[in-house]
Chain A
Amino acid sequence: MSMHFTILGRVDTMARPLRLPLAGGEVRAGFPSPADDYVEIELDLIAHLIKNPSATFFLRAKGTSMEGDGIKDNALLIVDRSINPQPGHIVIMSVDGELTCKKLSMMGSRPYLVASNPEFKPISLTGHDCHNWGVATHSIQPLAPGFTV
Chain B
Amino acid sequence: MIALVDCNNFYVSCERVFNPRLEGKAVGVMSNNDGCVVARSQEIKSLGVAMGMPAHQIDPHIRRQCTLLSSNYALYGDMSSRVTDVLSQHTPHVDVYSIDESFLSFEGFEPETLEERCQVMRHQVRRDTGIPVSVGLSTSKTLAKIANHRAKKESVFNGVAMMDPNSSDTRAFLEKLPVNEIWGVAGRSAARLHTLGIENAWQLRTASPKHLRRHFSVVMERQVYELRGESCISLDDMSQPKKQIMVSRSFGRLTTDKTDLREALRVHASRAGEKLRRQNGLAQALMVFVHTNRFRQDLPSYSRRLVIPLPHPTDDSRELIKAAMAGLERIFKKDIWYQKCGIMLMDLCDHDNEQLGLLEEPISDEKRARNEKLMATLDKLNREHGKNTVRLGMPRKQNAWELRCEHRTPRYTTRWEELAVAKT
Which residues of A pack against B, CB within 8 Å? Answer: 16-17, 19, 52-55, 57-66, 71, 73, 76-77, 79, 81-82, 92, 94, 97-102, 115, 131, 133, 136
Of the candidates A19, A71, A81, the one whose C-beta lies within 8 Å of that of B424 is: A71
Give which listed residue, B19, B128, B297, B419, contacts A60 with CB less than 8 A.
Answer: B419
What separation, in Å, do the CA atoms of A100 and B130 have in the docked complex?
16
Q: Give min CB distance, B130 to chain A, whole Å.
A: 7
Sample 29 A-B pairs with CB under 8 A, ordered by A number. Answer: A17-B297, A19-B300, A52-B128, A54-B82, A54-B86, A55-B129, A57-B412, A58-B413, A58-B419, A60-B420, A60-B422, A61-B422, A62-B422, A62-B423, A63-B424, A64-B424, A65-B424, A73-B424, A76-B419, A81-B127, A82-B127, A82-B128, A97-B20, A99-B18, A99-B422, A101-B423, A101-B424, A115-B424, A136-B422
Q: What is the CB-to-nearest-CB distance from B356 to chain A, in angstroms, rounded to a whole number?
A: 38
Decide if B421 touches A59 in the complex (CB within 8 Å): yes
How many chain B residues touch A (Cβ–Cβ < 8 Å)?
26
Taking a contact as CB atoms closer than 8 A, the residue among A19, A55, A97, A115 that contacts B128 in the complex is A55
B85 sits at the interface (CB 8 A)? yes
Residue among A16, A19, A54, A101 with the highest chain B CB neighbour number at 10 A: A54
Q: Is the CB of A94 within 8 A of B421?
A: no
Count how many pairs of residues, one from A and one from B, have CB atoms less than 8 Å apart in the complex: 82
What separation, in Å, do the CA atoms of A148 and B129 have in the docked complex?
Answer: 27
- Which B residues lie within 8 Å of A65 (CB)? 424
Interchain CA distance A136-B420 in the complex, whole Å: 13
Using CB atoms, name the residue of chain A closest to B81. Answer: A54
Q: Smallest CB-CB separation from A91: which chain B residue?
A: B422
| Chain B residue, CB-CB nearest to A73 | B424
C-alpha spacing A71/B20, complex, angstroms:
23
CB contacts (< 8 Å) of B23 on chain A: these are 97
In the complex, whether B278 has a CB less than 8 A from a CB of chain A is no
- Asked if B112 CB lies within 8 Å of chain A CBs, one says no
Residues of chain A with a CB closer than 8 A to B128's CB: 52, 54-55, 81-82
> Cβ of B423: which chain A residues have Cβ within 8 Å of it?
62-63, 98-101
Q: Report the Cα distance A119→B85, complex, angstroms.
A: 42
